[in-house]
């Protein structure tokens, strides 16, 4: 009896977390047909950001709601490792990134009083900037910390960026 009550409490808390999570609804809606989705695994979604201040900037988001890195299991970590390797390879091949920076902060959720949801920000960096499909992508703060700002690209260029990453993903 105690075990089933514990299970119900855990499940109820999990549902409450998910209802108070800004990221869960986006993850639930994302499919490989979404124009921003670069790749999906059983456990992770990889989406490019519409803000391409850093060419190839994107998000790697856990498809299941977990609030901290400590909640990830071995399979989550193993798949994340493969996603990171694949994305770093694709970004380097497609755009010539010199380094890929990864961040897992989740501060905005806490600030807003919401449940955190494990996700990573990918910021490719370029010594001297880079050029793709007729457009310049400067990296003026290199090698210092990231600059905030916007670089919205046209839908056509965004599609080319997504396709370039997809075409350079390692084949399984």
Residue with tokens 């989406």, as numbered in its chain: 47
What stretch of H or E contains 26?
A: helix 24-29
Please compute the mean of the pLDDT values over residues 31-43 and round it to a whole number. 94
> For residue range 52-106, what is the model confidence (pLDDT) as tens digits?
999 999 999 999 999 999 999 999 999 999 999 999 999 999 999 999 999 999 8
Closest CA to 172 of 86, 80, 79, 53: 86
- pLDDT score of 172: 66
Given a cut of 80, is residue 50 above it in pLDDT?
Answer: yes
How high is the mean pLDDT of the chain? 90
- pLDDT score of 9: 42
φ, ψ of residue 144 to 5 degrees: the values are: -70, 180
Rg (CA), the chain: 18
What SS3 class is residue 154? coil
- pLDDT score of 12: 43
> For residue range 128-164, what is the model confidence (pLDDT) as tens digits?
999 999 999 999 899 998 888 999 999 999 999 999 9
- What DSSP designation does 106 have? -
Q: 32 pLDDT band (50/70/90 cuts)?
A: confident
- pLDDT score of 91: 99
The CATH code of domain 2-167 reads 3.30.428.10
φ, ψ of residue 20 to 5 degrees: the values are: -100, 25
Domain boundaries, the chain: 2-167
Residue with tokens 């514990």, as numbered in its chain: 6
Task: List beta partners, residue 125.
Answer: 99
């Amino acid at each position: 009896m105690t075990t089933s009550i514990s299970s119900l409490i855990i499940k109820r808390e999990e549902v409450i977390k998910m209802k108070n999570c800004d990221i869960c609804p986006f993850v639930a809606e994302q499919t490989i047909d979404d124009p921003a989705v670069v790749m999906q695994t059983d456990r992770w979604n990889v989406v490019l950001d519409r803000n391409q201040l850093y060419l190839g900037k994107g998000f790697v988001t856990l498809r299941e709601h977990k609030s901290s890195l400590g909640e990830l299991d071995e399979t989550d970590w193993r798949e994340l490792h493969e996603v990171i390797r694949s994305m770093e390879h694709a970004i380097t091949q497609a755009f010539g990134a010199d380094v890929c920076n990864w961040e897992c902060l989740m501060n905005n959720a806490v600030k807003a009083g919401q449940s955190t949801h494990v996700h990573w920000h990918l910021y490719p960096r370029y010594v001297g900037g880079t050029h793709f499909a007729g457009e310049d992508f400067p990296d003026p703060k290199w090698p210092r910390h990231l600059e905030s700002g916007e670089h919205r690209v046209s839908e056509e260029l965004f599609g080319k960026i997504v396709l370039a990453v997809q075409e350079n993903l390692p084949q399984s």
